[in-house]
A and B are shown apart, each in its own frame.
Chain A
Amino acid sequence: MAHLMLIVFLVEATVSFINAVGAAKINDLLWTLINFLPVPTSKAAAEQRKVQADYLAVRREMNATSSQDEFAKWAKLRRKHDKLLEQLEASKKGLDSARSRFDSALTALRFLLTRAPQYIIPFWYATEPMFWLPHGWFPYYAEWIISFPRAPLGSVSIASWQLACAGIVTLLSDILTFIFKLVLGSKQPETPIKTPTEEKSKETSTTDEKKTS
Chain B
Amino acid sequence: MAAVIDEDALEPSLQTLLDQRSLRWIFVGGKGGVGKTTTSCSLAIQLAKVRRSVLLISTDPAHNLSDAFNQKFGKEARLINGFDNLSAMEIDPNGSMQDLLAGQGESAEDLNAMSGGIGGMMQDLAFAIPGIDEAMSFAEVLKQVKSLSYETIIFDTAPTGHTLRFLQFPSVLEKALAKVSQLSSQYGPLLNGFLGSNGALPNGQNLNEMMEKLESLRGTISEVNTQFKDAELTTFVCVCIAEFLSLYETERMIQELANYGIDTHSIVVNQLLFPKRENDCEQCNARRKMQLKYLDQYEELYSEDFNVVKMPLLVEEVRGKEKLEKFSEMLVKPYVPPQ
How close is B211's CB to chain A, nearest CB, in angstroms? Answer: 37
Query: Interface size (A, Cβ < 8 Å)?
Result: 10
Contact of B244 among A71, A72, A76, A82 (CB under 8 A): A71
Closest to A67 in B: B248
Q: Which of B85-93, B163-171, B293-301 contacts the other chain?
A: B293-301
Q: Does A210 contact B (CB under 8 A)?
A: no
Contact across chains for B255 and A71 when beta carbons are under 8 A apart: no
Q: Does B247 contact A (CB under 8 A)?
A: yes
Once bound together, how far apart are the Cα atoms of A76 and B255, in whole Å? 11
Q: Does B251 contact A (CB under 8 A)?
A: yes
Instruction: Give residues 18-72 of A contacting B (CB, 8 Å).
Output: 67-68, 70-72
Contact across chains for A72 and B255 when beta carbons are under 8 A apart: no
How close is A149's CB to chain B, nearest CB, in angstroms? Answer: 53
How close is A73's CB to chain B, nearest CB, in angstroms? Answer: 8
Contact across chains for B244 and A75 when beta carbons are under 8 A apart: no
Contact across chains for B300 and A72 when beta carbons are under 8 A apart: yes
Instruction: Give residues 58-106 of A contacting B (CB, 8 Å).
Output: 67-68, 70-72, 75-76, 78-79, 82
Contact across chains for B248 and A72 when beta carbons are under 8 A apart: no
Q: Chain A contacts of B244 at CB under 8 A?
A: 67-68, 71
Residue of A68, A72, A79 ringed by the most chain B CB atoms within 10 A: A72
Closest to B247 in A: A71
A141-185, CB under 8 A of B: which get 1 and which 0?
Answer: 000000000000000000000000000000000000000000000
Once bound together, how far apart are the Cα atoms of A132 and B300, in whole Å? 93
B221-253, CB under 8 A of A: which get 1 and which 0?
Answer: 000000000000000000000001001100100
When A and B form their complex, which 8 residue pairs have the shortest distance between CB atoms, in order from nearest?
A72-B300, A72-B301, A71-B297, A72-B297, A75-B251, A75-B301, A71-B247, A68-B244
15 sampled A-B residue pairs with Cβ under 8 A: A67-B244, A67-B248, A68-B244, A70-B297, A71-B244, A71-B247, A71-B251, A71-B294, A71-B297, A71-B301, A72-B297, A76-B301, A78-B251, A79-B255, A82-B255
Extra contacts besides A72-B297, A75-B251 (5): CB < 8 Å: A71-B251, A71-B301, A72-B296, A78-B251, A82-B255
